[in-house]
Amino acid sequence: MLEPSGSRSLRRTEEAGFTASMTSASDTLAFALPPVGPAPVQPATIILVQAIGSRVSLPFSGRVHSVYRQACNIETEHGTLVTLLSQGVGNLPHGIRCILPEPVDFRAQCSGGQTVVADGACLRIPRAGMALHLSGATTWRCALAACVVDAGATRTLRLLLDVRATLREHAPASGFAPLLLRDGEPGSPLDRAMQRRLRQTLPVLDRATWSLDADSAMQALGQLVGLGPGLTPSGDDFIVGYLAALWSRSSLEPAVRSFLAELAEPIERLAAGTHLISRQFLLNAVVGEFSEPLAELVSAMAVNDAPRVLAGATRVVLIGHSSGADSLVGLLFGLRPSLLVGSACADGRSRVGPALR
């Protein structure tokens, strides 16, 4: 009669649409007096946790690093990042995704500097009156590195063209995507400088990737890391997407796997120079761990499921301001550089010839 686990019944709730009807009880709100503010700090609000990313190692202690509406970053004593995520956000390798009662807004709950203590069963931010119960959560593991994407296959190309179209349509006006995909000279001097930088660097990275030359690749990546707008600069997001592409290729192309192994240490060094948030994503990428939307997109590619690819690409593009788009650019570049830098890569060594573009 009873569900064995709370999270399963929850999922059924979503399927049955009751959650929607509950929250959309708009006639309820008609009686609500203004303002409907976010919940203030409550003593020991218990928050249940749905999933814990595989990169989160318990126990740990740390401090709140930065807080956003749907995410709360914690800097652990080991110098790593653990991110609390609200229910609507995709899983992260270093994420702890909360379920009921869904926090309205992390910013209303906690703030930077507060102490965080997590043992196996509970993560507490005492100052914020938050207690996350971890013991019933499942472990979320990113499956991207296990996906098999045939980068050279025509079907993959078709999917990538869809992805590029999505980028053209939805990518924001800042970051790498417009500089690579839209015609014309950007108006701002900063963007012009960035476009020049990309036009110099990406062909180098393209050749280095093609020839699996780690040293040259690192030279190019060094020009990209920390480059561009955003909390996680576009260059960092791009590198993450690029590494996702390499991991998805690594099953079919053993040489790419060794290439990744060669890149690991220098990228870790590179990551050490960025701030904690970017660093964590880069360090995850080095070991083949990525965010759920990116992993989901790649897995759709692996099974050649075009509608899912389209939906997945759209979901990725909408992450952050330009972060998602930038990582998608990186992914595209890592799988088919010619789709982005075909004209710039004048020596014709890209794997896919002009005819297919």
Partner 1 sequence: MSNLFHDGEAIVNVGLASFADSIGRAGGKAVQVDWSPPAGGDRAAGWNLAQLVNHPAVESANQSAYARYLSAQPVLTGVGMARAAVPGLGERMLLHAGPPIAWEEMCGPMQAALIGAILFERWAADAAAARRLADSGDIAFGSAHHHAAVGPMAGVISPSMPVWIVENAVGSNRAFSNMNEGLGKALRFGANSPEVIKRLHWMADVLAPAIGAALAKLGPLELKPLIAQALQMGDEVHNRNAAASSLFLKKLVPAALVSGFDQAGMAEAITFIAGNDHFFLNLSMAACKAMLDAAHDVPDSSLVTAMSRNGVRFGVRLSGTGEQWFEAPAPLVNGLYFPGYGPEHAAPDMGDSSITETAGLGGFAMATAPAIVQFVGGTPQDAIAYTREMSHITLGRNNAFTLPAMNFNGTPAGIDARKVLDTNITPIINTGIAHREPGVGQIGAGITRAPLECFTQAINALAAIRRALAPEQMA
Partner 2 sequence: MATAFKVIPKEYRDSVYLMQLSARLAKLPGVEEASAVMATENNLALLSEAGLEVSATGAGATDLLVVVRGEASVLPAAIDEAVRSLTRQASVGSGQPEAAFKPRSIQMALAEAGASNMALISVPGEYAAAEGMKALRLGLNVMLFSDNVPEADELRLKQLASERDLIVMGPDCGTAIINGIPLAFANVVKRGPIGAVGASGTGLQEVTVLVDRLGLGISQAIGTGGRDLHSGIGGISMSKGLRDLAADPATKVIVLISKPPAPGVAERILSEARKVGKPVVVNFLGADPARISGGNLHGAKTLEDAARASAAIAKGDIPRQSYGEVAVPPIALPPLAAGQRYIRGLFSGGTFCYEAALLLDERLANVYSNTPVRREGELSELGHSHHHALIDLGDDVFTRGRLHPMIDYRLRNERIVKEAEDAETAVILLDVVLGYGSHADPASELIPALRRAREIANRQSRGLLFVGHICGTQGDPQGLERQSDALTQAGMVLAESNAQAVRLAASIVAGRAPARLSRQTGGQ
Q: If binding is defined by CB under 8 A, does position 25 make contact with partner 1? A: yes
User: Please, what is the minimum distance in Å from the beta carbon of residue 181 to partner 2?
Assistant: 18
347 Cβ contact list (under 8 Å, min separation 6) = 207
Backbone angles phi and psi of 251, in degrees to 5: -70, -40
CA dihedral 249, 250, 254, 259 (to 10 degrees): 100
Q: With CB under 8 A, what is the number of residues at the site for partner 2?
A: 59
Helix axes 292-302, 323-335, angle to 10 degrees: 30
Kind plus residue range of the DSSP H or E element containing 137? none
Q: Which does 12 bind (CB under 5 to 8 A by kind): partner 1, partner 2, none?
A: partner 1
* 172 counts as binding partner 2 under rule CB under 8 A: yes
Q: 42, 22, 190, 198: which is closest to 109 by C-alpha? A: 42
Nearest partner of 206 among 221, 222, 184, judged by Cα = 221
Tell me the site size for partner 1, rule CB under 8 A. 43
| 122: contact with partner 1 by CB under 8 A | yes
Chain centroid, CA 180 distance in Å: 20
- The residue range among 6-14, 19-27, 252-260, 316-324 that interacts with partner 2, by the rule CB under 8 A, is 316-324
Q: In the complex with partner 2, which residue's Cβ is closer, 228 or 342?
A: 228
* Binding region for partner 2 (CB under 8 A) out of 16-24, 40-48, 161-169, 330-338: 40-48
- Which amino acid would we find at residue 346? A
Q: Quick one: which of 189, 254, 307, 348 contacts partner 2 (CB under 8 A)? A: 189
Q: Hey, what are 51's tokens?
A: 């999933």
Count of other CB atoms within 10 angstroms of residue 48: 20
Provide the token pair at 59: 């126990």
Residue 210 contact, options partner 2, partner 1, none, Cβ 5-8 Å cut-off depending on partner type: none
Measured between alpha carbons, how far is 322 from 232 in angstroms, rounded to an integer? 9
124 binding partner 2? (CB under 8 A):
yes
Query: Does 43 sit near partner 1 (CB under 8 A)?
Result: yes
24 binds partner 2 (CB under 8 A): no
Could you give the CA distance from residue 191 to residue 185 in angstroms, rounded to a whole number? Answer: 9
Which residue lies nearer to partner 1 by CB, 138 or 258?
Answer: 138
Only one of the segments 2-10, 167-175, 191-199, 276-284 lies at the binding site for partner 1 (rule: CB under 8 A); that segment is: 2-10
> Among 4, 35, 88, 348, which residue sits at the site for partner 2 (rule: CB under 8 A)?
35
224 interacts with partner 2 by CB under 8 A: yes
Closer to partner 2 by CB, 44 or 261: give it.
Answer: 44
Residue 162: which residues within 8 A CB-CB, separation 6 or more?
A: 306, 309, 310, 313
- The continuous run of DSSP H or E covering 158 comes out as helix 154-170
In Å, the largest CA–CA distance within the chain is 68
Candidates 87, 98, 135, 310; binder of partner 1 (CB under 8 A) is 135
Q: How many CA atoms lie within 13 A of 351 on its CB side?
A: 16
161 to each of 6, 56, 78, 313, how far by Cα in Å?
A: 41, 35, 41, 11
Binding-residue pattern over the window 60 to 99 for partner 1, x denoting contact by CB under 8 A: -x-------------------------------------x
Residue 219 contacts partner 2 per CB under 8 A: no
Chain residues that interact with partner 2, rule: CB under 8 A: 35, 37-44, 65-68, 73, 105, 107-108, 111, 114-115, 117, 119, 124, 126-127, 129, 131, 172, 174, 188-190, 192-194, 196-197, 223-233, 235, 273-278, 320-323
